[in-house]
Amino acid sequence: MAQYHRRVMRPILIVFLLAACGAEPTSRIPKKPNTELVVGEYERRPPAGTSAFRFGSDGTYTVAKNKGEMERTPHVSEGTYKVDGDTLTFETQRGECAEQKTGSYKVNISKIGIRFIEKIEDACDWRARLAGQTLWRLK
């Protein structure tokens, strides 16, 4: 009886397991759009640096030396930003890069942070150092 059970049930079990492994997950939560995910506070961590970034829901951004300096002025840089798909574009009004104004980057935005994959176009050396770095989400 035990041999019959192994001989009949084993193939059924294998087919069931293979079908279960190949099935699409049904409880996957869709990712929020990047325009929503970007809103929040972030920091660069050593050895890359210690600057802090705040991206507001109104399309403004602020950069401070570190997260403790975020509420103090003057800031390192201030301006507006725009997210279009996987492209983040800065438009600086005050501070670092105000002369070069615009800079665009290919980014990956998640609940963990913002990964600057590559610089698309930016004449500002200070901001261009973000390429290849991650801003880690604080809030």
Task: Provide the pLDDT for residue 28.
Answer: 75
pLDDT digits (tens, 9 = 90+) for 78-108: 999 999 999 999 999 999 999 989 999 999 9
Residue 48 covered by a domain? yes
* φ, ψ at 65 (rounded to 5°): -60, -40
Residue 12 covered by a domain? no
Number of domains in the chain: 1
Confidence band, pLDDT 50/70/90 cuts, at residue 49: confident
Residue 84 covered by a domain? yes
Residue 110 covered by a domain? yes
CATH classification of the domain holding 77: 2.40.128.360
pTM attached to this predicted model: 0.76
Task: Provide the pLDDT for residue 5.
Answer: 56
53/49 Cα distance (integer angstroms) = 12
The range of the structural domain enclosing residue 40 comes to 34-137
